[in-house]
Structure 1
Amino acid sequence: MTSSPDSAPAAFSQADLGNALAQCLAYTGDLPWGARPTLFALVPTTVLAAQAPGLIDPDDDSALSPVVQETDSDDLEELLTTVTWPSSVVGCALVSEITLLPPDAEADLDAALEPLLADPVAADEAARQAAQAHPGRQTARLAAGVLRNGKRVALLALRDGDAQSGELQTHPNLAPNLLDALAQTLHG
């Protein structure tokens, strides 16, 4: 794919990225809970329409189109340290499941982790088990995305029974480490 002047990375806005992430969440909303993380390349819709017109709805006026990437890895860290993108990909996104805990859960996690701090693997596993066992836990899908121009957004869709809530939430400090790791895949 080649980029045209109207698809230069600087031309894409935070809103364009947010719309692409909403599309990613809509796609993963049809997947069962417990599915592995889903990685997406973000490609200018005009470029994709020129290269593969059958993939784009003629009425699609979105600036960016998410393209699902087939991955073999369940290890998110390994995946994000090995993936690279061609220059035609102006951004990337990842959707993964997370467990949210209420603020008062910190004491429970501290109690589970303290005896294991010398062993990071055991501490991580204890934290996961404590989070899964906490009565106030909530499951959500986190969509994090970055563009080559530095724009970044993270969105949450809470689990509602067996479905994903249509209401999306965000916060400026949501998933900074994941956003940093995604940005490294674009510039690494």
Structure 2
Amino acid sequence: MSADEQHSALQQALAEIERHVRDGGWDQPARLYALALTGELLAREPALAERIGITGEPGPDTLTPIEQDVPNRPIEDLLATITWPETVAGCALVMERIVLPPGAEDEMPEDDAAATTWAQQHPARSDVRVVVGVMRDGRRESVMRVRGHEADNELIRGAELSPELGNALAETFR
């Protein structure tokens, strides 16, 4: 059993999304995905299995990510307007973030624009890509990749790697 198979269906879907996004390199905009139960999706769209390369019967919890068109506006504003149809079992968001070492925020400028520039130029910063997923029933998972470790198959995994993004996604199901 591979490392991915040892994790939940949600983590497997998030890892699949991260691999897909990773192929496009870094410095990408936020990307939003609906998560559909694969069995239900194929029951509604039987021809889809061949188009996306699904053979055999999917497991009962297997998820299929479906990328959504995201208008060019701040993701926080967009998420506040989204509601999902009942056929969507969950959703996932991919965002790149800058992570600073502990204590660095004490030196950060007050002005938002200056703070962004300062963080982008900080010599000890790390760039990360975080993929956060939330299911309609409230389950959450996250995976994260640190820039410079693209060849590594190991993702950082956890339910709350970015709780603020998880909370914003959960609100889309209310």
**Is TM more than 0.5 here?**
yes
Letter in 1 for 2:171: Q
After TM superposition, give the deviation of residue 179 of structure 1 in Å: 0.5
In structure 1, C-alpha distance between the alignment counterparts of 2:13 and 2:85, rounded to whole Å: 19
**Partners of 2:34 and 2:92 within 8 A in 1:** yes
In the alignment, what sits opposite 1:77?
76
In structure 1, C-alpha distance between the alignment counterparts of 2:26 and 2:73, rounded to whole Å: 15
| CA deviation vs aligned residue, 1:37-94 (integer Å, no higher than 9, x gap) | 1100000010122222343311574611110001113311111011111001010000
Question: What are the within-5 Å matches in structure 2 for residues 33-112 of structure 1?
Answer: 33-56=26-49, 57-59=54-56, 61=58, 63-109=62-108, 112=109
After TM superposition, give the deviation of residue 172 of structure 1 in Å: 4.8
Question: What are the within-5 Å matches in structure 2 for residues 1-188 of structure 1?
Answer: 15-56=8-49, 57-59=54-56, 61=58, 63-109=62-108, 112-113=109-110, 123-160=111-148, 163=150, 165-187=152-174
Letter in 1 for 2:167: D
Q: Which has the higher helix share?
A: 1
Letter in 2 for 1:39: L
In the alignment, what sits opposite 1:6?
none
**Partners of 2:14 and 2:132 within 8 A in 1:** yes
- Structure 1 residues not aligned, in runs of 5+: 1-13, 114-122
TM-score, normalising length: structure 1: 0.78
3-state DSSP class of the match of 1:160?
coil
Residues 124, 154 of structure 1: CA spacing in aligned structure 2 closer, same or farther, 3 A cutoff?
farther
**Partners of 1:138 and 1:159 within 8 A in 2:** yes
Percentage identity across paired residues of the two chains: 37
- Structure 2 residues not aligned, in runs of 5+: 1-6
In the alignment, what sits opposite 2:3?
none
In the alignment, what sits opposite 1:118?
none
3-state DSSP class of the match of 2:11?
helix
TM-score, normalising length: structure 2: 0.84
Tell me the C-alpha RMSD between the 2 structures: 2.0
Letter in 2 for 1:43: A
**Partners of 2:140 and 2:160 within 8 A in 1:** no
**Partners of 2:130 and 2:144 within 8 A in 1:** yes
Letter in 2 for 1:107: D
In structure 2, C-alpha distance between the alignment counterparts of 1:152 and 1:76, rounded to whole Å: 19
